[in-house]
Amino acid sequence: MSSRRIVITGLGGLCGLGNNAGDIWNAMKNGVDGVTSLAQESLSELKVKAAGQVGELPDIGLENKNTITMDRFAHLSVIAAHQAFAQAGLQVNERNASRMGAVIGTAICGCDAIEDGYQMLLVKGKKRTSVFTVPRIMPGAPAGQVSMVLGLRGPVFGVTSACSSANHAFISALDQLRCGRAEVMLAGGTEAPLTYGSLRAWESLRVLSKDLCRPFSANRNGLVLGEGAGVVVLEALEHAKARGANILCELAGGGLTADAADIVAPTLEGPSSAIRACLNDAGLNADEISYVSAHGTATKANDKTETEALKAVFGDHANNLSISSTKAMHAHCLGASGALEMIACVNSIREGIVPPTINYEETDPDCDLDYTPNQAKERPIKSAISNSFAFGGTNAVIAVKRFEG
């Protein structure tokens, strides 16, 4: 574990709950359901009828020459990064640009560009797609676009590990800062999967709910998809102090493991090992954790396995944990989910409020911990973990704690 401490100085985000981190948090703690009916006529044939959708995008002054090269998932990440950077009060200049970077995760890629390309070639009979199709599709585009808009010339790259992508981005950025390659890193995740082809593919997996997302409830019947992005500013403590930054929380550590078992079915050992690795990296004892931002997808296997993993790691202390899945509110935003859940972790620590797991209806004997059903709970929170367990067996867990000197 490196002795260099890393702090959070800015938050940005947008999803079905709101167009900035403050609005998202207010909706979370009030148990707002951000899932709405799919509005696009082109999606009317789908069995799935609702999703977590971002409304009109905030205007951050981007010119058309910028946005024309961005797919929606990149555009969302740029907006979130712009918000986080502004809150952090940072300025880029020739002296510091090479010491600032960005790592943005995504589970898929530019779905809109793929859809547009197929439409042009197979439906409209065109001979070619847009000249910007490749740069719009590539999974590394969000990180690149963030760097160009903000002028960051340090370490910049994308990461992709299905639904663990945002947490992998946080830990990758943490490593860059700890080893001294940068002083400031923007990190997070983004996703815009609400296209016809993407949703048809998810329908084929048979993991989508026909109505509501009900994490940990006995009558849960699958996940609800959503779009969104979340980005935080991570900064070396000494750098943040030197410029008088307002420090929100400390990113204490992270844990990474792989199941090495099945492409979609979770194991117990992989998630529990990731939680243990995270606590070890963060220098935290199990009994110091008060809040768990659960992966909580509302599938039968995931929620049961996550409950078992928490019991395996925390033992008797598992009964003292406050757990919630905010996916019930903002939907499963795939590569962006961990980044939106970071907003919940930081603010729960700062305000002493655990956001609820809404839509919880029936107790499940296989899921018998405190999932903060339907209403937020007030309690002091010094440290929290956020779980991400993804297809491919890729597990990433981060630990956030209250900043103290």
Bridge partners for 14 per DSSP: 229
332 is known as an active-site residue: yes
- What does 17-70 look like in DSSP terms, one character per residue? TBSSHHHHHHHHHTT---EEE---GGGTTSS--EEE---SPP-----HHHHTT-
Which residue is catalytic, options 15, 109, 111, 163? Answer: 163
Give which of 343, 43, 41 is closest to 193, Cα–Cα.
43
Residue with tokens 């844990």: 255
Query: What stretch of H or E contains 86?
Result: helix 72-88
The answer to whether 75 is a known catalytic residue is: no
Q: Using DSSP bridges, classify how beta strands 35-37 and 50-52 pair: parallel, antiparallel or unpaired.
A: antiparallel
How far is CA 291 from each of CA 320, 354, 371, 380, rounded to the nearest angstrom? 9, 7, 10, 9
Decide if 249 is catalytic. Answer: no
292 DSSP β-pair partners: 323, 385
Q: Which residues contact 101 (CB under 8 A, 6 or more apart)?
A: 147, 152, 153, 154, 155, 156, 173, 176, 181, 182, 184, 185, 186
Catalytic residue from among 75, 82, 168, 295: 295
Backbone angles phi, psi at 35, to 5 degrees: -90, 130
CB atoms within 10 A of CB 160: 21
| SS3 (DSSP) at 272 | helix
What is the distance, to the nearest Å, from the Cα of residue 223 to the centroid of all Cα atoms in its chain? 15
Q: Taking a C-beta distance cutoff of 8 angstroms, is the pair 293, 345 a contact?
A: yes
**H or E segment at 6?**
strand 6-14
Catalytic residue among 332, 333, 345, 367: 332
Total number of residues shown for the chain: 405
The residue type found at 223 is L
Is 274:395 a contact under the CB 8 Å cutoff? yes
| Segment 309-318 long-range contacts (CB within 8 Å, at least 24 positions apart) | 309/268, 309/271, 309/272, 309/275, 310/275, 310/369, 311/369, 312/268, 312/272, 313/272, 313/275, 313/276, 313/279, 313/286, 314/286, 314/287, 314/289, 315/286, 317/286, 317/287, 317/289, 318/369
So which residues are the catalytic ones? 163, 295, 332
